[in-house]
Amino acid sequence: MHWKWRQTTVGPGRPPLPEETVALIQRLATENPTWGYVRIQGELRRLGHRVAAATIRRVLRRSGLPPAPQRASQQTWRSFLRAPAHTLLACDFMHVETVFLKRLYVFFVMEIKTRRIHVLGVTARPTGAWVTQLARNLLMDLEERAECFRFLIRDRDSKFTAAFDAVFADNGTAIIPTPPQSPRSNAFAERWIRTARTECTDRLLITGERHLRTVLTTYAQHYNARRPHRCPDHLTIDRERPAQQPDRNNDTLQAICTSRRHWGSGRSGRASANAASPAAPGRSG
Q: pLDDT tens-digit profile of 47-72?
A: 999 999 999 999 999 998 888 888 77
pLDDT at 226: 84
Backbone torsion region of residue 69, taken as left when φ is above 0, otherwise alpha when ψ lies between -120 and 50, otherwise beta: alpha
Total number of domains in the chain: 2
Q: Are 43 and 123 within one domain?
A: no
Q: What is the pLDDT of residues 206-227, one digit of tens each?
A: 999 999 999 999 999 999 988 8
Rounded CA-CA distance 209/204 in Å is 14
Q: Are 198 and 220 within one domain?
A: yes
Q: Are 187 and 262 within one domain?
A: yes
Residue 229: CB atoms within 10 Å: 12
Q: Are 61 and 89 within one domain?
A: no
Whether pLDDT at 4 is above 80: no
**What's the pLDDT band for 73 if we cut at 50, 70, 90?**
confident
164 near 131, Cβ under 8 Å? yes
Q: What is the pLDDT of residues 141-181, one digit of tens each?
A: 998 899 999 999 999 999 999 999 999 999 999 999 999 98
Residue 67 in any domain: the answer is: yes
CATH (domain of 165): 3.30.420.10
Q: Are 50 and 184 within one domain?
A: no
Listing from the earlier edge strand, what are the strands of the sheet with 151-154? Answer: 116-123, 103-111, 88-97, 151-154, 174-177
Q: Are 139 and 246 within one domain?
A: yes
Residue 215 in any domain: the answer is: yes
Rounded CA-CA distance 157/251 in Å is 37
Q: Are 52 and 174 within one domain?
A: no
**Whole-Å CA distances, 201 to 94, 276, 277:** 11, 13, 16
User: Checking DSSP bridges between strand 116-123 and strand 103-111, what pairing results, if any?
Assistant: antiparallel
pTM of the complete model: 0.65
Q: Are 215 and 250 within one domain?
A: yes
Helix 162-170 crosses helix 128-142 at what angle (to 10 degrees)? 10
Q: Are 119 and 162 within one domain?
A: yes
Query: Which range of residues forms the domain containing residue 63?
Result: 19-75
Q: How far is CA 160 from the centre of its chain?
A: 23
Residue 283 in any domain: the answer is: no
Query: H-helix or E-strand containing 97?
Result: strand 88-97
